Amino acid sequence: MYEDELKFLGSHEDPADDTNGQRTIFSTEEINNILMKYPGLPESYTTYLVEIGAGPFRECQYEVFDTPCYFEELYEVGFEFEPKRYIAFGHNFSGDTSVFDAKQEFTILDFWHDSLEFYNKKMSFKSYIKEKMLIGLNGEDLRVNA
């Protein structure tokens, strides 16, 4: 499912940066354990963990967490929200967190730390992760200095 993304990372990550390629590939048993705790997670997400793995990519452009967790387990956000609704799976190293909304068919939302608001991305996990990797519609590198 993620052959193109793996190829892209292989040719666009800086091999001198020790964060690149330091991803954890998940076994079927590990995925099953995650799904027992968080049933309903998108298959495209769990397949990502098996094929590309958790961890940072593109010189810390973005990171998929080693394991998902409930949003409230990450930090105190300073406002009220429904507990055990938002499942955090990654972040952009700037304080913004990516979550699945378990009450809305695991829709992907970005939580912006500066406004304390969730924003619906209205995209699949595969499309979302390609955006985070800075992969264009035709497979081109969208990084400014590419």
What mean pLDDT is reported for the chain? 94
pLDDT tens, residue by residue, 55-64: 999 999 999 9
Specify whether the CB–CB gap between 34 and 41 falls below 8 A: yes
- Dihedral sign (CA 10, 12, 13, 16): positive
* Residue 21 pLDDT exceeds 80: no
| C-alpha to C-alpha distance for 135 and 101, rounded to whole angstroms | 25
Domains of the chain: which residue ranges? 3-132
If pLDDT is split at 50, 70 and 90, which confidence band does 47 have?
Answer: very high
pTM, 2 dp: 0.94
pLDDT tens, residue by residue, 91-115: 999 989 999 999 999 999 999 988 8
Q: CA geometry: angle at 22 spanning 10 and 25, to 5°?
A: 90
What is 3-132's CATH topology? Answer: SMI1/KNR4-like (3.40.1580)
| C-alpha to C-alpha distance for 27 and 84, rounded to whole angstroms | 25
